[in-house]
A and B are shown apart, each in its own frame.
Chain A
Amino acid sequence: MIRLPEFRYYRPKTLKEAVKILNSEGEKAVIVAGGTDLFPNMKRRIQTPSVLVSLQQVKELHRKISYTKINGDQEKRLVIPSGLTLSEVCENRLIRENYPFISKTTSSIATPLIRSMGTIGGNLCLDTRCTYYNQSLEWRESVDFCMKAPEGKLDIPCRVAPGSPRCVAANSSDTAPLFCALEAEFHIVSQEGERTIKPAEFYREDGEFYLNKKAEEILSEITLPSSENLHAVYLKLRRRGSFDFPVLGAAAVLKMTGQKVKEAKIFLNAVSSAPIEVLESEKALIGTELEEEKILEAAESARQSAKPFDNTDFYPHWRKEMVGVLLKRALLELKSRKT
């Protein structure tokens, strides 16, 4: 059995209180929500924070999913507080009826037990993953650690891509590419106040420093775009029917006018440290009526652009081949739903 290392534990009741603690504890404090990602990492001594600030009792983060009017905006927007569990998001009526693809995506994460503990905020802030990083301290000692887990040493190369200037650990969050493609809005709270950021800017292509966010900043809520004329899908590739992180994910969001594609957003995950937008594929679709050859063209562009590393389950060359297949299937699904 492995046990957790020692840490101090705060359980603030309000956002204000949480922000204050995070600010005063500084560097050594780490945010924990459901703990389904952080605690396993702590057990393996990948992260050993001496202070944890739990968001579980922060009331603002556990409000109901509801519509809000955005300043001066006529549209109503749905807001998801970050502290809701994946099961709560998945089963929510408003989500199921208006954003069924979010329900479907969240239901594909991990296992039922983990989903009733893990939060949507934690999923969006999920640590990047790598077969050389998500290992015990003893294991990492054997390979003399890696760029992301240097254990006090300097100049350790990436074990997957030794020439790489940055860590290539994979973004493995299932919801991240979908929210990127949806162009949702993330709300972030800290001592300095509140800011909003587009998901595509929230993620960085660096496995070590993978979020454009300071450690003490809390992701408080997610605002969704209007669901009108929105066609979205996320397909996930993994070894087994449950349990597994994605080895590849493809999110496609289309805005249509009549039969024509007006806007297209396509993001892939698990092939890079951030969800990756495939502009070529988007271009191939805009203005089309999703004709099969256009879909194939978009899929082929995505396949060509993807450069998966050998840091997840399955071989990278196969995952690269699968980029085309998965995106093709995602787009065909959208096409068949439309007609």
Chain B
Amino acid sequence: MFNPAELNVIGKPIPKVDALPRCTGKLQYADDLTFPEMLFCKIYRSPYAHAFIKKIDLSKAKKIPGVVKILTGEDFSIPFGILPVSQDEYPLSNKEVRYVGEPIAAFAALDEESAYQAAKAISIEFEIVKPSMSIEESLKQGMIHKSAGLEFGDIEKGFLESDDIFENVYFYEGNTHLALEEHAAAAVPDPDGKLTLYSSTQVPHYLHRTLAKTLNLPPSRIRVIASPNGGGFGGKSDVFSHEIVVSKLALLTGKPVKISLTREEIFYLHRGRHPTLMWLKTGVKKDGTISSMHFKSLLDGGAYGSYGVASLYYTGALQTTTYKIENYKFEGARLFTHKAPCGPKRGHGTPQPRFAIEIMLDEVAEKLQIDPAELRKKHLVQSNSITPNYLKVGSMGLGKCIDKVVEGSGWKDKFRKLPYGKGVGLACGSYICGAGLPIYWNPLPHSSVMIKLDRGGGVSVYCGQIDIGQGSNSMLAQVVAEILGVGPSEIKLCCADTDLTPVDLGSYSSRVTLMVGNAAIQAAQKAVDLLKKAVSEKWGISEDKINFKNGKAFNRENPDLSLDFSEAVQLAEAKFGAVCTVGSYTPPKSPGEYKGSGVGPSPAYSYSASVVQVEVDPETGIIQIEKVWIAHDIGKAINPLSVIGQVEGSVYMGLGEALMEEQTFRARYNGVHKAPGMLDYKSLTSKDMPEVETYLIEDPDPNGPYGAKEVGQGPLLPIPPAVANAVYDAIGVRIREIPLHPEKVLFALKNKAPKRSFPSFHAPKVIRVPLPSESPTTSLLSSDLLRSESLRVDSSPSSGLPPSSSGAVSS
């Protein structure tokens, strides 16, 4: 399809196209925006984790000078939520508040201080109720948001066939995104009654839909512009109360209204990692073959639905994409608690089970006396295969990833050979490259790109995608530049503006490079085809002899014959009219047809392997990370510089989760957040960050643009279990929960660690699904079908999931 030798832009480590404005402070984030006559908004939030609102008295607040408009729950009657099944939040709460920080009233004033003073002057009579602050308590109370049970094959038979059975309980603490840019939004009413909302959001399209719904306006009267995000990590992929509130205030006052949240408020709107209690039972044969796996997860969901249904299914979905598992069963439930709602954070629902599996494999390897790297390599899922839960794996570079980190780290000379206190640990992971389904039921493309060529040679690219710092703007520019033969920095990008750009579903589930990239290839290919036709006519040679490169069209056979790109555009415009083309992408249909099969399918899967070296101080329990080696199967690195940045960022975040980050609450004191600030919520500083050696494995995937797969999330997955395995290698204690606080390490060393137990839990309903090998529908799947074309546009809905329970998303 593409001749790698001919690539001029793809695969080159170029600086991001928007690096200069980002680095010089010139980029306008939502908080930088100001408009004439703009009002400022502050939100009054619940001081209690669980309470009923008896009476709201606004008389004092109304008297604060400068106050223009006050909203309460009475001003909103339509609920919202990111998933169609979880429309359970109101912009402002009217009756019941379910977490500390839940929005109750909004105040628009001439200046920020007056809005703040007005919020302070509100007086509310609450009836305080005892909150439920733990998984165990909520399970007892029956506060189950959603449960799921799926069995593929027959696990009991699998356990009978195994030689050894391993069983353990694991706990993964909740943690938050900590994007540096605090959420902000500015709503601007147009004189014609329309409304524009600027917001730091990862999902302008879903925000657009939700505003239309909650404000009861046709979408055509609302314009959403996603301002550049200063980091997202999944924390800006819900629609939030403040976005709806400022929009309503702008409509009611006729003035622009802006809100900039404080760091503390962001800890409350959260939607981060679900604290997850897990139970894992694995049956293995003597050679390490996994004949059976039974996994249970209980997720602490916080107060509202958010992406929770998807998060729950994700804890059970991707176990199968790394190592062959013959029979597999997943049971899980997401519980409501009276805490800030959880949702998608980098890795969405998959770092928790990955933590459990990768530690358990370390234990299996030890028992069977097989090197952990060898054990994994022996049982890898094959490329172009189908997993027991019907996920189609295309390219699969995990074996090469393992080889790289084993070699780079000197694993063979270190594992079980370093002096007491020092150790190495290995773990792997796999992640989706975009979800197979959108979050609301529709047969439309997931991503579209529009290209307009100017007579002067300018190339404008329009796309709904939003760069949240991951580099998707550069990816888009590079893909188009490659095909049109111009420089990436020459390209004008117009992104994430619902009035001007075709829809892209958003920056979540690691979908942008694959989906936007494919749509961009299609649009650019159509454009260059028009140019080639026009030039071929002028030169009287066939189109395939024409090549676009360095801003010129060349005759391949006679490179002296060339003309400027702008001339080519003019020739095409004269012949066809304005040169405007479009491209769209819809993921291929997934073979799974069972209820719940909507979560997990993806056009491709990325793979990573990591070795972490630690030094543990046995006297204090303090863990120093000495070095991290990580290999990531990226398919094809469109921009290696960006890719390495994403890998290192994932390592950074994974180490934070492994060692210190935790979003925890004080049950004894009204359920307040323990540390809602960046000094007390601990994440690594540059002094704590070890050296990271990154290896990129390029095993091109037929579904990826130029073979590219994701990198934004996957490389986080191996880190926490690799740290835990390294700690075991260093001091011989197995710790099956994170964060690995020094207290825990010391306790474990003294054999005093409290043992976690898993409450009795069985999914009320378990759907039994025959294995693909036993199923009549999938036996038809030939390898041709598995290797679907990269630009295939498939518009049919692709799963048995009814619209009411569709949930196929990730952070």
Contacts and interface: CB of A to CB of B under 8 A. Distances in A.
Contact of A241 (B47, B673, B688): B688
B112 A3 contact: yes
A142 B47 contact: yes
A25 interface: no
B687 A240 contact: yes
Contact of A143 (B669, B680, B685, B746): B669
B674 A139 contact: no
Nearest to B750: A321
B767 to A, nearest CB: 43
A131 interface: yes
Given A138-B45, A315-B741, 18 more contacts: A6-B113, A131-B674, A134-B680, A136-B262, A138-B264, A139-B676, A142-B48, A142-B670, A142-B672, A143-B670, A159-B669, A240-B685, A241-B688, A242-B685, A242-B687, A244-B682, A318-B621, A325-B620
A142 B685 contact: no
Contact of A138 (B47, B660, B687): B47
Interface in B348-406: none
A159 B672 CA distance: 13
A1 interface: yes
A314 B746 CA distance: 13
Given A1-B260, A143-B672, A240 B746 contact: no
A322 interface: yes
A313 B688 contact: no
A313 B674 CA distance: 10
Contact of A243 (B679, B741, B743): B679
24 contacts: A1-B31, A3-B113, A6-B113, A134-B680, A137-B120, A138-B45, A138-B264, A142-B47, A142-B100, A143-B672, A239-B682, A240-B684, A240-B687, A241-B685, A242-B688, A244-B679, A313-B682, A314-B741, A314-B743, A315-B741, A318-B621, A318-B742, A318-B743, A318-B746
B669 to A, nearest CB: 4
B760 interface: no
Interface string A126-165: 0000010011111101110000000000000001000000
Interface in A162-191: none
Nearest to B117: A5
A242 B675 contact: no
A139 B351 CA distance: 31
Interface of B: 31, 45, 47-48, 100, 112-113, 120, 182, 260, 262, 264, 619-621, 660, 666, 669-670, 672-676, 679-680, 682, 684-688, 741-743, 746
Instruction: Label chain B's interface by main secondary structure.
Output: loop
Nearest to A321: B746
A242 B743 contact: no
Contacts of A242: 685-688
A321 B620 CA distance: 8
A6 B620 CA distance: 45
> What 4 A-B pairs have minimum CB-CB distances, sorted nearest first?
A241-B687, A142-B47, A318-B743, A143-B669
B743 A315 contact: yes
B737 to A, nearest CB: 15
Interface string A284-322: 000000000000000000000000000001110110011
Contacts of B680: 131, 134, 313
A335 B620 CA distance: 21
Contacts of B682: 239-240, 244, 313
Contacts of A113: none
A114 to B, nearest CB: 11
B672 A243 contact: no
A308 to B, nearest CB: 13
B31 A240 contact: no
A139 B672 contact: yes
Contacts of B676: 135-136, 139
Q: Which of A1, A6, A139, A142: most chain B CB closer than 10 A?
A: A142
Contacts of B679: 243-244
Contact of B619 (A143, A241, A325): A325
B621 to A, nearest CB: 8
Nearest to A245: B679
A317 B741 CA distance: 13
A243 B669 contact: no
B688 A240 contact: yes
Contacts of B688: 240-242
Contacts of B660: 239-240
B264 A139 contact: yes
Contacts of B620: 322, 325
A38 B685 CA distance: 23
Contacts of A2: 262
A128 to B, nearest CB: 15
A1 B669 contact: no
Contacts of A143: 666, 669-670, 672
A325 B666 CA distance: 30
A134 B676 CA distance: 11
Nearest to B120: A137
Nearest to B678: A243
A6 to B, nearest CB: 8
B308 to A, nearest CB: 25
A138 B619 CA distance: 40
A141 to B, nearest CB: 5
Q: Which of A3, A134, A240, A313: most chain B CB closer than 10 A?
A: A240
A43 to B, nearest CB: 9
Q: Which of A131, A314, A315, A318: most chain B CB closer than 10 A?
A: A318
Contacts of A6: 113
A2 B116 CA distance: 10
B46 to A, nearest CB: 9
A242 B684 CA distance: 9
A262 B198 CA distance: 70
A334 B254 CA distance: 70
Nearest to A2: B262
Contacts of B674: 131
Nearest to A325: B619
Contacts of B687: 240-242
Nearest to B747: A318
Contacts of A241: 685, 687-688
A200 B265 CA distance: 41
Given A159-B669, A239-B660, A131 B675 contact: yes
